[in-house]
Amino acid sequence: MSAEPGLSIRRHRDRRVPLAALVAAGAAVCLAAGTGVGLAGTDRPPPAASWHPGCADGCPSVAAAPVPQGPPVPQGPPTRVRVPRIGVDSALTVLGLDRAGALVPPADFGTAGWYGGGPAPGDTGPAVLAGHLDSRRGPAVFARLGDLRPGDRVEVWRGGQRLAFRVTGSLRTRKDRFPTAEVYGPTPGAELRLVTCGGDFDRRSGHYVDNVVVFAVAEG
């Protein structure tokens, strides 16, 4: 990837989070994955029969009201991301790690990727979507990521369903000061992290000096 101002990601070693925590040292994106949080229910006995005037032998137990069921949880990897405000409408490729523990970036500068070692969009936890900022030929898929503002919408397709997320904020940080726990730590619900590079381009190293991270939460 040294021939292009692209994307290179290395494992972050100075902190530990519930899953792998990845921090970029390359040209466009640094990312990691947080762990999901499961919730367990508690079994309770059915309500006892009540007694009131008009029930000679005691009124029968009242059946508990059915619990409303939400939409089915989507299955499989995400397949597409759309961000209307910045003109992103891209297929999603699944990203993994190489033998050195670095994230293998999308081969296509115009295509975004999802880190398959972490939560998927729609599952509990921070799902990480990454994309190049640019290449020698011009802007790449996440070139305008830093233009997003709170309230902007991000849509992800997974298992034939469209999942809607709302941007809550963003940050730009030096790569050597990356807030791993804040970005990749566990969350109580489904969230997104969209990551690319930013700031100045260091021509000596061939890398951007900063990361841009956008935070988004699932719409209810």
Q: ∠ CA(108), CA(111), CA(114), 5° rounding?
A: 115
For residues 79 and 92, is the Cβ–Cβ distance under 8 A? yes
Closest CA to 131 of 148, 115, 150: 115
Give domain status of residue 192, yes or no. Answer: yes
Number of structural domains in the chain? 1
Q: Which range, of 47-51, 145-149, 153-157, 162-166, averages the lowest pLDDT?
A: 47-51
Q: Say what the pLDDT of residue 98 is.
A: 79
The dihedral region occupied by 76, where left means phi > 0, alpha psi between -120 and 50, and beta the remainder, is: left
Higher pLDDT, 175 or 116: 116
d(CA 12, CA 20): 8
Q: Is the pLDDT of residue 187 over 70?
A: yes
Write phi, then psi, for 49 (nearest 5 degrees).
Answer: -65, 140
Percent of the chain with pLDDT over 70: 66
Q: Say what the pLDDT of residue 184 is.
A: 82
pLDDT tens readout for residues 85-112? 999 999 999 998 778 766 677 889 999 9
Give domain status of residue 48, yes or no. Answer: no
Q: Is the pLDDT of residue 176 over 50?
A: yes
| Confidence bin at 18 (pLDDT 50/70/90) | very low
d(CA 194, CA 85): 14
d(CA 56, CA 205): 87
Give domain status of residue 45, yes or no. Answer: no
Give domain status of residue 50, yes or no. Answer: no
Q: Say what the pLDDT of residue 72 is.
A: 72
Q: Is the pLDDT of residue 19 over 60?
A: no
Closest CA to 141 of 183, 76, 195, 77: 195
Find the domain containing 89 and state its range: 9-36+72-218
Pair of tokens at residue 145: 């990521």
Kindly report the average pLDDT of the chain as a whole number. 76
For residues 116 and 106, is the Cβ–Cβ distance under 8 A? no
Burial of 134 (0-12, 13-18, 19+ CB in 10 A): buried
Give domain status of residue 3, yes or no. Answer: no
| Confidence bin at 175 (pLDDT 50/70/90) | confident
**What count of residues does the chain have?**
220
Give domain status of residue 164, yes or no. Answer: yes
Give domain status of residue 63, yes or no. Answer: no
Q: What is the pTM of this model?
A: 0.71
Higher pLDDT, 189 or 8: 189
pLDDT tens readout for residues 118-155? 999 999 999 999 999 999 999 999 999 999 999 999 99
d(CA 102, CA 203): 22
For residues 141 and 112, is the Cβ–Cβ distance under 8 A? yes
| Confidence bin at 7 (pLDDT 50/70/90) | low
Q: Say what the pLDDT of residue 205 is.
A: 85
Q: Say what the pLDDT of residue 74 is.
A: 84
Give domain status of residue 65, yes or no. Answer: no
For residue 206, give the CATH number of its domain.
2.40.260.10
